[in-house]
Amino acid sequence: MPKPNAATLSIVSGLLLLTALQACAHRPADLPATVPVAVAIERPLPPAELMACADRPAGLPEDASLIAQIPTAIRAGIIRMARAFRANAEGKDRLVNWLAADSCLVPGKAVR
């Protein structure tokens, strides 16, 4: 077997030293997993005038002779406005009920 020269010995000793030092290297301890904590958040309520349930006034009289006197185009406009009013009133009542449960009676929903 040939005799190793100084360069070969230097490389081999360097590799052995590198391997030994890696085995002794300081490894930080694993940190414990953090558990998320639920935090209660109190949302402020809007002013009282915004928390009022929608006012639903009485509609037009249901007398057939009066309805027959309203021109068709105007009657269609009244129907569109009434449907839009109903949708807005229901949306406001749902919002008030979401902020303060069961504050407004929702038409068609059973009362507990």
| C-alpha–C-alpha distance, residues 82 and 59, integer Å | 9
Higher pLDDT, 82 or 22: 82
Q: Please check whether residue 112 is in contact with residue 102, taking contact to mean a CB–CB distance below 8 angstroms.
A: yes
Residue 112 banded pLDDT, cuts 50, 70, 90: very low
Mean pLDDT, all residues of the chain: 80
As a whole number of angstroms, the distance between CA 51 and CA 27 comes to 59
Q: What percent of the chain has pLDDT over 90?
A: 18
Reported as a single tens digit per residue, the pLDDT across 42-94 is 878 788 888 888 888 888 888 888 877 889 899 899 999 999 999 999 999 99
Q: Residues 15, 18, 24, CA angle at the centre, nearest 5°? A: 145
One-letter amino acid of 110: A
How far does CA 78 lie from the centroid of its chain? 37
- Residue 108 has a pLDDT of 60
